Structure formats: structure tokens, C-alpha cells
Amino acid sequence: MTPEQETKILASAINTFGINAQLEMVVEECAELIHAIKKYKRGAPTPAGTLYLLEKMYGEMADVEIMGDQMRIYFGDMDINAHRENKLKELAKLIAESGKDG
């Protein structure tokens, strides 16, 4: 799928369901990702179960990314990019301070 096709679908979701519904979906998808991560951390009794939990977590990560992309379309991403850069700088500083970088 091209970036243009993705943008069209994401914008259509906002236009179809409305921003309030999509904001609620952001909350729901984040909660589902949290739940999937907690289940993955608890582990599974079999390798197949672990793979299932990992796949579930990946699916929820994709959902959160899709909702984040919709928020970028609706609210614009200029400020998000600046915040992202600052957050990455903060993370790099934490890594350096931990003495465990690399």
C-alpha cells in the first residue's frame, strides 16, 4: 500500500466516524496494547503460546500506530515531530547516564 493510500484510508476513518470516536479508539487501543504486553510478560506454558502472545502484542502495536497516524492527520504533526525529537534526546541521555549504552 502506498503512503497516499494509507493517508486516504486514515483520513476517511476520521471523516466517517468523527474525531471524538477516534479519540476514544486511541484510548481503547492503548489499553489493549497494555493488556497484551502484560500477558506477554507473564509468559505462556508453551512456545506456541508465547508466539501467540507475541503476535497479539504486535497486532495491538499496529493498532496504536494506526491511531497515532490518524491523530497526526487530524491535529498535524509538526509539533509531534519536535516532541519526538526531544523525547529521543531524553532517552539517549538516560541511556548514557545508565552506563549501559551499547
Helix axes 19-42, 3-17, angle to 10 degrees: 110
Cβ atoms of residues 1 and 62 within 8 Å: no
**Grid cell listed for 55:** 503476535
How much is the pLDDT for 80?
87
- Tens digit of each residue's pLDDT (9 = 90 or more) over 38-92: 999 999 889 999 999 999 999 999 999 999 999 999 998 778 888 999 999 999 9
SS3 101: coil
**Angstrom distance (rounded) from CA 23 to CA 68:** 10
Give the CB-side neighbour count of residue 10, counting CA atoms within 13 A.
20
